[in-house]
A and B are shown apart, each in its own frame.
Chain A
């Protein structure tokens, strides 16, 4: 339900004024970040709080890559993110299919156990999981960064809901046509739930790329840092590199901003899943 456009042009102008003011507030931190990133550190001491860049230096972005070793960290983040998203899709699709279409003893208990994992975020199990990784020799490795996130109850739940929305008649017809479960999943169920799969993939990407606590715990050598952990290392460096850290922060946000711009519909549907009925 969207409020109708006000008839009077004055009121319309008023709403544009309000919305613009709100946009300024929301974007202000990003704007000052851009200004600070582009200005030399010396200039902010000299000029106080400039509201536009002074002594603009576009090379700060390339310096973020060289000084912060951002290229390597972005690749690490990308590899881990692709591993997590790809595997989560596979494990959730097949688990969701089992819960939605197959009858077998223990199904309800297993479903409850899956849902219970939602109550055990990585922050709770952190100490024990780091120990496991140490024992396995997986500290500072791709497997260590990705392993705890290769299955997800949220994704399983979401896809199961999608599968349950498929009319039973369709399954019966497919059985008559000689479709086994696996071909029904691949050729009917998945194509029908593609929007849900896409939304889930986008949200899974967002979460994996933006992770902080687990990579921080399982990485002890700087060459294994993800881009998020690299931001911390850069910001912990001295003030005269403040602009480099800010440039790095902007770079780290680019992939997700791209999602927001190009896959907004999927992102929004994924984020609102479970929140809004209907």
Chain B
């Protein structure tokens, strides 16, 4: 066998394990979802009826999907801008030469250790009306339809703060020293330097973070389930919450269509992410 042929065989062999996992648990399910969306099943899952693309139209324009989408979008708007701003604030404060700064940096990174479930349990008690420290804060109350999503968003902002801080700090530290010195020589004060020079320089990283945080927001499920169970009165049912709870045979077609809708959303945002990754690679080499 020629060397080329050998290389080809080896290459395929090395890709088989990953490809098999992706085929079984990523691509086949995608096909399955699209197919499920074309069918309706009876309560017991014993019979299946082809209903065609009309189910897609019905579900994607229907009340369930639209309300789930609206809750998801509001959740993203409640978590991403505030989370990013707080992360930048912490990173700018911690990016300086001071004795013991590492301690502060570790503290600011610490929430990276908290999972969705850990953060949710912590905030469930914090905002608990009877025993929570924020129990009297009506603005965050989980018991009211107008405020429950804010309570959930707060726990997500806190849980994501460590990651946001770590990434922004790394970006700040990668800004070349000379640029900083030049700005000072040009008479820029610290605030003007931050907004005119530093933040624009790290804007690719900030954009990357926005994408990551938006995708986190799209995937919100555990926080909702633990903190409110989707309530009160369905006011905090995100798309993934609705999808998760449409696994009974009767609802499966609808759930599958909603999942395809979520895929559409993720697709658009992920394209942006991959474009950014590639740009990073291009610059890096």
A contact residues vs B (CB 8 Å cutoff): 1-5, 12, 15-16, 18-19, 22-23, 26-27, 29-30, 32-33, 36, 41, 44-45, 49, 90-92, 94-95, 97-99, 102-107, 110, 113-115, 117-121, 123-132, 147-148, 150-151, 153, 156-157, 161, 164, 181, 206, 209-213, 216-217, 228-229, 231-232, 234-236, 239, 242, 245-246, 248-249, 252-253, 256-257, 259-261, 264, 267-268, 271-272, 274-278
Q: Is B19 an interface residue (CB 8 A)?
A: yes
The 7 closest A-B pairs by CB, nearest first: A210-B115, A128-B29, A104-B8, A151-B21, A212-B222, A125-B29, A102-B11
Compute how far the CA of A268 lies from the CA of B29 in the bound complex, rounded to whole angstroms: 33
Given that A104-B8, A151-B21 are contacting pairs, would A98 and B14 also be in contact in the complex, using a CB cutoff of 8 Å?
A: yes
Q: Is B172 an interface residue (CB 8 A)?
A: yes
Q: Is B163 an interface residue (CB 8 A)?
A: yes
Q: Is B42 an interface residue (CB 8 A)?
A: no
State how many angstroms separate the Cβ of B257 from the closest Cβ of chain A. Answer: 10
What residues of chain A lie closer than 8 Å to B15, measured between beta carbons? 94-95, 98-99, 110
What residues of chain A lie closer than 8 Å to B266, measured between beta carbons? 119-121, 124
Cβ–Cβ contact A123 & B240, under 8 A: yes
Cβ–Cβ contact B112 & A271, under 8 A: yes
Q: Is B267 an interface residue (CB 8 A)?
A: yes
Tell me which of A4, A27, A248 contacts B96 (CB under 8 A).
A4
Given that A181-B10, A260-B113 are contacting pairs, would A127 and B247 also be in contact in the complex, using a CB cutoff of 8 Å?
A: yes
Partner-contacting stretch, out of B75-83, B138-146, B274-282: B274-282
Cβ–Cβ contact A268 & B25, under 8 A: no
* Per-position 1/0 for B1-26, Cβ under 8 A of A: 00010011011101101111110111
What residues of chain A lie closer than 8 Å to B95, measured between beta carbons? 1-3
Tell me which of A106, A124, A217 contacts B262 (CB under 8 A).
A124
What residues of chain A lie closer than 8 Å to B267, measured between beta carbons? 119
Q: Is B148 an interface residue (CB 8 A)?
A: no
- Interface residue total, chain B, C-beta cutoff 8 A: 111
Given that A212-B116, A253-B118, A277-B280 are contacting pairs, would A27 and B98 also be in contact in the complex, using a CB cutoff of 8 Å?
A: no
Cβ–Cβ contact B11 & A107, under 8 A: yes
Max chain B Cβ within 10 angstroms of own Cβ: one of A32, A91, A103, A156 = A91
What residues of chain B lie closer than 8 Å to A212, measured between beta carbons? 115-117, 221-222
Max chain B Cβ within 10 angstroms of own Cβ: one of A12, A15, A277 = A277
Tell me which of B96, B109, B116 contacts A260 (CB under 8 A).
B109
Compute how far the CA of A238 lies from the CA of B263 in the bound complex, rounded to whole angstroms: 37
Compute how far the CA of A152 lies from the CA of B90 in the bound complex, rounded to whole angstroms: 31
Cβ–Cβ contact B259 & A124, under 8 A: yes
Q: Is B67 an interface residue (CB 8 A)?
A: no
